[in-house]
């Protein structure tokens, strides 16, 4: 993770300020508010603002005026019920804002989630730093033979060395050309007074997708859980999954009851089709059922058997 001295001063100044308020705050989240959580080689996630807590979800579900004398166990039971039965509106009553630094190719995946408010760093206005993502060798894998958007075996030896060298050399080369075309330093001073630089909005187009960008991303808890259910899943691409895992930890601090319900019913649970449910009932009754008798496609059969921890044969 790369944080400049100026950015660190801004973070320290923000963390040093305190404000009196009558609205609910969450001490566990306040502990890390504004603090960057490292992700990948230069990236980070940091929570910078939030509204509401577990109580806001409960209050919306009950349409009550305040916290009253409810017990935590009562709130937990209600939140579990809401999550279990997919009553999503109460979860929209809590919101959070993140500042995220991430590779451009991860941002292009991320932006597919269109239910957030996003403001991204502008390379039309500012000059990007020489910061690009280089995978750890253990994450350099060949194309999967069975999954068109997945990875197969990890590269090793000379293959891995060659790929890393190509990634690093290409990234440095395009940034050198980016600087040459701009012909200016980050403070706007010309590098060569005898020639004009290309407009920033044009010079940026030569940069590769592993360069870092930044944005502020604000969303409500319901849509955050939808994002995490897809991106914190074991099948998600590694580079976006590690961001989701960092955000999941923030969520655990912020709304622990909602977090636990989400992990139990959504992230760690499965949804069964009507045919798959009928299969489970038949197996519980001691019946022998094969793929053809189940009415499931071969792929659905394999997925159902995997979920149940059984052989697909």
The reported pLDDT for the residue numbered 79 is 96
Last residue of a domain, one of 208, 233, 259: 208
Q: Is pLDDT at 245 greater than 90 in this prediction?
A: yes
Residue 142 DSSP code: E
At 65 the pLDDT is 65
Q: How confident is the model at residue 49 (pLDDT cuts 50, 70, 90)?
A: very high
In a domain, 313, yes or no: no
Q: Is residue 312 part of a domain?
A: no
Q: How far is CA 216 from CA 46, 97, 122, 246, in A?
A: 10, 7, 12, 15
| Claim to verify: residue 138 and residue 155 sit in the same structural domain | yes
Considering the domain architecture, whether residues 54 and 65 belong to the same structural domain is answered as yes
Active-site hit among 231, 241, 266, 302:
231
Same domain, 101 and 2: yes
User: Is pLDDT of 2 > 80?
Assistant: no
My answer on whether 93 and 199 are in the same domain is: no
Domain finish residue from 162, 178, 208: 208
Domain region containing 186: 134-208
Residue 155 shares a structural domain with residue 286: no
Looking at 158, 189, 208, which one is the last position of a domain?
A: 208
Same domain, 113 and 141: no
Claim to verify: residue 244 and residue 291 sit in the same structural domain = no
pLDDT value at residue 119? 96
Residue 143: the pLDDT is: 80
User: Is 231 annotated as catalytic?
Assistant: yes
Distance CA 261, CA 243 (A): 20
Q: Which stretch of 116-120, 220-224, 233-237, 246-250 has the lowest confidence by average pLDDT?
A: 233-237
Do 65 and 125 sit in the same domain of this protein? yes
In this structure, the answer to whether residues 113 and 22 fall within a common structural domain is yes
Is 246 inside any structural domain? Answer: yes
Q: Indicate whether 146 and 181 sit together in one domain.
A: yes
27: nearest Cα among 246, 249, 254, 248: 254
Range with lowest mean pLDDT among 48-52, 146-150, 196-200: 146-150
Mean pLDDT estimate for the chain: 92
* 169-206 residue pLDDT tens: 999 999 999 999 999 887 778 888 888 999 999 999 99
Residue 99 counted as domain residue:
yes
147: pLDDT strictly greater than 80: no
Q: Which pLDDT score, from 0 to 100, does residue 4 have? A: 82
pLDDT tens per residue, range 104-128: 999 999 999 999 999 999 988 889 9
* Residue 69 confidence (pLDDT) above 60: no
User: Same structural domain for residues 17 and 105?
Assistant: yes
54 contacts: CB under 8 Å, gap ≥ 6: 75, 79, 255, 256, 257, 258
Which residues have a Cβ under 8 Å from the Cβ of 37 and sit 6 or more positions away? 44, 45, 46, 246, 249, 250
């Amino acid at each position: 993770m790369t944080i400049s001295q100026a950015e660190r001063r801004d973070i320290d100044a923000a963390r040093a300020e305190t404000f009196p308020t009558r609205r609910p705050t969450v001490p566990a989240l306040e502990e890390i508010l504004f603090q960057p959580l490292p992700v990948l080689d230069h990236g980070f996630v940091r929570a910078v603002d939030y509204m509401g807590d577990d109580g806001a979800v409960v209050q919306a579900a009950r349409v009550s005026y305040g916290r009253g004398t409810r017990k935590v166990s009562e709130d937990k039971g209600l939140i579990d019920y809401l999550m279990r039965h997919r009553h999503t509106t109460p979860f929209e009553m809590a919101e959070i804002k993140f500042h995220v630094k991430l590779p451009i190719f991860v941002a292009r995946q991320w932006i597919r989630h269109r239910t957030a408010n996003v403001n991204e760093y502008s390379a039309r206005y500012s000059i990007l730093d020489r910061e690009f993502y280089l995978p750890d060798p253990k994450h350099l894998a060949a194309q999967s033979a069975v999954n068109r958007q997945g990875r197969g075996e990890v590269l090793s030896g000379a293959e891995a060395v060659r790929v890393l060298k190509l990634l690093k050399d290409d990234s440095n080369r395009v940034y050198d050309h980016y600087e040459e075309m701009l012909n200016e330093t980050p403070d706007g001073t010309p590098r060569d007074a005898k020639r004009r630089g290309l407009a920033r909005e044009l010079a940026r187009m030569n940069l590769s997708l592993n360069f870092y960008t930044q944005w502020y991303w604000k969303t409500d808890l319901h849509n955050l859980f939808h994002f995490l259910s897809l991106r914190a899943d074991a099948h998600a691409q590694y580079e976006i999954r590690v961001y989701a895992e960092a955000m999941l930890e923030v969520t655990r601090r912020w709304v622990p009851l909602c977090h636990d319900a989400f992990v139990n019913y959504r992230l760690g649970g499965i949804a069964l089709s009507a045919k798959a449910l009928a299969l489970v009932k038949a197996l519980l009754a001691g019946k022998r059922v094969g793929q053809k008798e189940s009415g499931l496609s071969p792929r659905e059969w394999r997925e159902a058997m995997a979920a149940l921890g059984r052989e697909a044969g």
